[in-house]
Amino acid sequence: MAKEPPPPLRPLSADERVFYRDELRAARYAALADSESFTEICFVIEALGLRLQGRQEAMGEYKERIAECGQGSPLFGLLPQTFPATFKTFDALYRTVKQARNDAMHTGAYARHATEAAIELCIGLEEALMTNGKPGVGDVMVKSPITVEPWQPVAHARQLMLMHSFSFLPVRLNNTWHLISELGLARYLNVSIKRKAERLGKSIDAAVEDGMELKDVHPEAILRATDSTDKALAAVPGQDGPSLWLVVETLCIDGKDQTRLAGVLSPFELM
C-alpha cells in the first residue's frame, strides 16, 4: 500500500522561525555542556520536522523537509563543496544524528562524535531559519538573561560564571547597570586562601565597596528589542566595541514606568 504523501508545505512564520531558532540554540548549549545531552537537539529537530511535515513521523522521514528548511545556510551548500575536509554535508550530518538517535550507546567517543554532528547541524539550521530578512536585536538576543542581585554573595556570581562559561554577569547597582567581568572577579579573588574565603562570602555590593572592579555599561550598549543589529555593532566611543549589550524594555506597573532587563546580546549571537 502506497504511503500517503505529506500535506503541502506551510511556510514558517517569522515568529516560528525565531521560536525554533531559540529552541535549537538552547539545545546546542545543553549539548556543549554535556555531550550525552545531544538527544535534546534531536527532540527539537523532530519538533521542527513535525511542524514542516504536518504529521508525526520517524526522524528519517523528516529529512527532506528539514533539508529544504536548511537551504539558506552556506554551511549546507557551498562550504562542504569547497572545503570537504572541514565541513560535512547536510546529508552526512543528518545521517549521523539520525543513527545516533536510534542507537542506545551514547557514551565516550561515540557520544562526542554524534554531538559534534548534531551541533554542526544545529548551527546550519539556526542560520537558515534567520535568512528571511535582516533580524533585529529582539530576534537574536538571549532572552531571560541570568543576572545577580547586589545582596547575593560573590561566591554565587563566581559559581554562575564557572558553570555557564560567562565572561560577564549583569548587576544593577543604584539604578545603574554594570557588568561583573571575569577579569575583575579574578583580580578581586587573587589573594590568600583565607582572604579569598572571606571575599567569596561578601555580598556583591560590599565587594564593590571593598574594591572589586565592575565594567561600566555605556549608554550606547543599552538597546531595545526593536533596534537593528547594525546599531548594536556600531562601535562604542573609546573602545573597540561592547563585549555585552543589554536589551531593556519599559513596563508600566501601578501607573509607574519601570525598566527591566529583557535580554542580553553578545558578538557570539551575531556571528
The interaxial angle of helices 90-101 and 39-53, nearest 10 deg, is 110
pLDDT value of position 106? 55
pLDDT value of position 3? 65
Task: Classify 251 as helix, strand or coil.
Answer: strand
Residue at 84: amino acid letter: P
C-alpha cell at 110: 561515540
Contact 203, 112 (CB under 8 A): no
CA distances from 96 to 20, 51, 87, 104, 127 (A): 21, 22, 14, 14, 20
C-alpha cell at 161: 560564571
Distance CA 121, CA 123 (A): 6
Q: Which of 33, 40, 139, 174 is nearest to 97 (CA)?
A: 40
Q: What is the dihedral of CA 88, 89, 95, 101, to 10 degrees?
A: 60
| Residue 254 backbone zone (phi > 0: left; psi -120 to 50: alpha; other: beta) | left
Distance CA 252, CA 56 (A): 43
The residues spanned by each domain of the chain are: 14-133, 139-270
Contact 171, 204 (CB under 8 A): yes
Compute the C-alpha angle 34/38/42, nearest 5°.
155
pLDDT means over runs of 10, the chain (271 residues) = 67 90 91 79 94 91 93 88 91 92 66 87 93 82 91 96 90 92 95 95 96 90 90 71 83 74 88 81
Q: Which of 100, 125, 113 is nearest to 47 (CA)?
A: 125
CATH number 3.10.580.10 is the correct assignment for the domain at 139-270: yes
Q: Which of 55, 54, 72 is nearest to 17 (CA)?
A: 72
pTM score, whole prediction:
0.77
pLDDT value of position 112? 80
pLDDT value of position 266? 87
Cross-strand bridge partners of residue 169: 180
| 213: number of Cβ within 10 Å | 15
